[in-house]
Chain A
Amino acid sequence: MIAAPKNYDLRAAEIAKDFPILAQPTSRGKRLAFLDSAASSQKPQAVIDALVRYYEHDNANIHRGVYELAERATAAFEGARGKVARFIGAEPAEIIWTRNTTEAINLVSFSWGLENLKPGDAILTSQLEHHSNLVPWQLLAAKTGAELRFIEVDDQGIHQLGDLKAKLRGVKLVALSHVSNTLGTIAPLETIVPQAHAAGAVVLVDGAQSAPHMRIDVRALDVDFFAASGHKMLGPTGIGFLYGKRALLEAMPPFLTGGDMIKKVEYRETSFNEIPWKFEAGTSNIADAVGLGAAVDYLTAVDMDWIRAHDHELTRYALERLTELAPLGLEIYGPRDPELRSAVVSFNLADVHAHDLASILDTEGVCVRAGHHCTMPLMEKMGWPATARASFYLYNTEQDVEQLVTALKKAAQVFKLA
């Protein structure tokens, strides 16, 4: 049971002041209620300043420069790696910079996957996955002859683990999202990971929706790979990371090849750099890595446990308020128990298509996502053509939820549901 932090709403309103974009009214003069952080979060001034400061004072290419600027740029870049490592309980050498979660998952698929899977092996994922944690495994299975299996979910999107032991037979890789981007379901990793390891499988966790919202300790979770995106956790777009256990990363072949990832190059052969640089070919996204470092500093200063408790309390409040709209035909999806979900609420209003709903909410300053949320197989399984999705983060307040409820009532009026 997560306790409601005292004055959580007041503190969230104070935090919102650090995000300049949120102070801006819409073109229709409405207050902005940004409820789409699961797609991409807003950025605090501290992150924006870190990017500007890097370009104004420290910019140069990293690693081999011997002059002062290059040394400062290298220190900022590697310093950010250290911050991300500490943020999730890893060593810096175990953090590889990528563009985003998708690239991190592809790195594992192409490097570890092609090397370790063969016909007769199996990959186990779930029916909840974002396309980014499904399509790479479909292609890997096709290339290696491995079989793709799924942990089923019930109509609330909760993992069904009754046959887990049987499903794990012959599995070499378990790939799961920590938190579902469509339904908010938190995966029961504490049950799945030990059983997966006992069956001899390696576990990859797609942390795109969990790293922004809860304290992550990769050692305690005992996962082998953990992938996340900077832009969903207050950082810039174009930067993400892959955590991998040192021994695994050391044994893996490189993914992309070229400059910076080498130790020695001759005309006909090359020896590779140590981890993590072995996996970072070409000039990295230095400035955005530095920006992500600033984002992690900001999150740590606020405190990840407070963020989890805030998100939980606001989600609980939103579920309560949205339930009041049931007479208008509002249907809420995902786990009914708020303890089992993160800060994501998917819903539909009577026969109003989610896109029409999102368009009407937009006229009231409320930003929500609508559609299949990159989980087309899940939508098909559940029989939903589309859903609208509100997602919350540390800067959202009860006022944002209130604005959502008011806008939904307006949509009901436009569609003559009342």
Chain B
Amino acid sequence: MEDFYKEYILDHYRNPRNFGHLERVDASAEDLNPLCGDKIRMELELEDGKVKDVRFSGKGCAISQASASMLTESIKGMKLEDVARMSREEVIENVGIGISPARMKCALLGLKVLKSAALGEIASWP
């Protein structure tokens, strides 16, 4: 748990990357974690079926915000269909800290919303 809030997690929490809104939005989604009310919105700009740019917005805990922030960094240039297929394992590995079962949805909210944007419909919990 001491590892739980590593320096880079706090950095992503306080200085989230790709935070805000896009001028041109080709795909978007938003959803909330009913457990805690944390909310995330994802906006995508596409080019040739690939993610050209991405922004996220919302409020939540360090884990949900850092996970979403790190996710936006990793998907630029990815094919939309690959985004729709991303697994929970990839995200958890990317976050790089031990996530307790009670906090799993916090870590996966960003991915759920991103997949919803890619699929054009609300995705189930990854």
Range, interface on chain B: 10 to 19
* Chain B 12-63 residues near chain A, CB threshold 8 A: 14, 35-38, 59-63
User: A339-380 interface mask toward B, CB cutoff 8 Å, 1 = contact, 0 = none?
Assistant: 000000000000111111001100100000011100010010
Partner of B37, one of A359, A376, A415: A376
Max chain B C-beta neighbours (<10 A), residue from A352, A356, A370, A376: A356
Q: Are A359 and B4 in contact (CB under 8 A)?
A: yes
Q: Are B5 and A386 in contact (CB under 8 A)?
A: no
Which residues of chain B are near A145, meaning CB under 8 Å? Answer: none
Which residues of chain A are near B35, meaning CB under 8 Å? Answer: 371
**How far is A370 from B33 in the complex, measured between Cα atoms in Å?**
13
Instruction: Check A415/B36 contact, CB under 8 A, given A356-B5, A356-B63, A359-B100.
Output: no
Instruction: Check A355/B5 contact, CB under 8 A, given A385-B60, A415-B10, A416-B10.
Output: no
Q: Are A355 and B59 in contact (CB under 8 A)?
A: no
A414 at the interface (CB under 8 A from B): yes
Which residues of chain B are near A363, meaning CB under 8 Å? Answer: 1-2
Q: Are B5 and A351 in contact (CB under 8 A)?
A: no
Which residues of chain A are near B14, meaning CB under 8 Å? Answer: 351
Partner of B36, one of A352, A360, A372, A414: A372
**How far is A112 from B116 in the complex, measured between Cα atoms in Å?**
43
Partner of A386, one of B1, B36, B62: B36
Closest chain B CB from A103 CB (angstroms):
21
Which residues of chain B are near A376, meaning CB under 8 Å? Answer: 37
Which residues of chain B are near A415, meaning CB under 8 Å? Answer: 5, 10
**How far is A379 from B60 in the complex, measured between Cα atoms in Å?**
14
Q: Are A386 and B10 in contact (CB under 8 A)?
A: no
* Chain A 377-418 residues near chain B, CB threshold 8 A: 379, 385-386, 414-416
B103 at the interface (CB under 8 A from A): yes
**How far is A354 from B103 in the complex, measured between Cα atoms in Å?**
12
**How far is A371 from B106 in the complex, measured between Cα atoms in Å?**
12
Closest chain A CB from B100 CB (angstroms):
7
**How far is A359 from B5 in the complex, measured between Cα atoms in Å?**
10
Which residues of chain B are near A386, meaning CB under 8 Å? Answer: 36-38, 61
**How far is A410 from B4 in the complex, measured between Cα atoms in Å?**
13
Which residues of chain B are near A360, meaning CB under 8 Å? Answer: 1, 4-5
**How far is A371 from B32 in the complex, measured between Cα atoms in Å?**
13
Which residues of chain B are near A352, meaning CB under 8 Å? Answer: 62
Which residues of chain A are near B36, meaning CB under 8 Å? Answer: 354-355, 370-372, 386
Closest chain A CB from B97 CB (angstroms):
11
Q: Are B1 and A353 in contact (CB under 8 A)?
A: no
Nearest B residue to A416, CB-CB: B10
Which residues of chain B are near A351, meaning CB under 8 Å? Answer: 14
**How far is A162 from B14 in the complex, measured between Cα atoms in Å?**
42
Partner of A355, one of B1, B2, B10, B103: B103
**How far is A99 from B63 in the complex, measured between Cα atoms in Å?**
36
Which residues of chain B are near A359, meaning CB under 8 Å? Answer: 1, 4, 100, 102-103
Other than the known A371-B37, A385-B37, what 12 A-B pairs have Cβ atoms closer than 8 Å? A353-B60, A353-B62, A354-B36, A355-B36, A355-B38, A360-B4, A360-B5, A370-B36, A371-B36, A386-B37, A414-B5, A416-B10
A residues neighboring B (CB under 8 Å): 351-356, 359-360, 363, 370-372, 376, 379, 385-386, 414-416
9 intermolecular pairs with C-beta atoms under 8 Å apart: A353-B60, A353-B62, A355-B63, A359-B4, A360-B5, A372-B36, A376-B37, A385-B59, A415-B10
